[in-house]
Amino acid sequence: MSDAPIISIRDLRKTYHVGEVDVHALRGVDLDVQRGEFVSIVGPSGSGKSTLFHIIGGLTPPTAGSILLDGHDLLGLTDAQRTELRKTTVGFVFQKYNLLPTLTARDNIEIARHIAHKNGPLDPKFGDVLKLLGLTGRLDHKPRALSGGEQQRVAIARAIVNHPAILLADEPTGNLDTENSTAVLGLLRDLNQRLGQTVLMITHNPEAAAYGHRTVRMRDGRIE
């Protein structure tokens, strides 16, 4: 792993204005994630972990503080620059698979490449990733013909097809049964160990969190 953190956060704060009430979602968060780490973030509902996830992904601006993402100062970027950074640097996996129902698994993966303006043939090495994910025989199936675990594996393939520096996973097993949850978590660990993929995962499940190198616990907008 490189000595320079791939994610570096200092005194990060986020306040939402709900009517006349200020809701302090983040209250001065400091966090470093090294390149090639698998970090799990856990905490009860309302602890701020989802807000932190959305800020790291460039989806929500912070109120104050600093955040460096693979050397890029997120607060110094325009909206258009943050959008480009998301396309090239960050891959997202959510609890809901968010697959387009009219497209095959292959096309759901390919659409991420089109969004990032990568219209050439797939990197042949990505075939090894599809084998790792167990998808080589399922690429021509539409989501309705896939199990929940298979749909989440397609979502993971879509998230990493552009070789992002960081994979952000928000409750990736929330819609899965125990068997599929174990399989998906094992795949995330394999991607981390075999490919060196940096993974930052939000989960409420301590057993899921144990798949990471370390666990960061949040409560009331702070890291405990």
Q: Which tens digits make up the pLDDT trace of 10-67? A: 999 999 998 889 999 999 999 999 999 999 999 998 999 999 999 999 998 899 999 9
Q: How many domains does the chain have?
A: 1
β pairing state of 90-93 and 166-170: parallel
- Say if residue 212's pLDDT is above 60: yes
Q: Is residue 116 part of a domain?
A: yes
Q: Is residue 213 part of a domain?
A: yes
- Of the chain, the percentage scoring pLDDT greater than 70 comes to 96
User: Cα-atom radius of gyration of the chain, to the nearest Å?
Assistant: 17
Q: Is residue 19 part of a domain?
A: no
Pairwise pLDDT comparison (218 vs 131), residue with the higher score:
218
pLDDT value, residue 222: 96
Q: Is residue 12 part of a domain?
A: no
Q: Identify the burial level of 157 via C-beta atoms within 10 angstroms of its C-beta, where 0-12 means exposed, 13-18 middle and 19 or more buried.
A: buried
pLDDT value, residue 54: 93
Q: Could you report how far apart the first and last alpha carbons of the chain are, in Å?
A: 25
Q: Which domain holds residue 188?
A: 36-59+83-223
CB 33 within 8 A of CB 213: no
Q: Identify the burial level of 58 via C-beta atoms within 10 angstroms of its C-beta, where 0-12 means exposed, 13-18 middle and 19 or more buried.
A: buried
pLDDT value, residue 124: 67
Q: Is residue 20 part of a domain?
A: no
Query: Domain containing 188 — which CATH number?
Result: 3.40.50.300
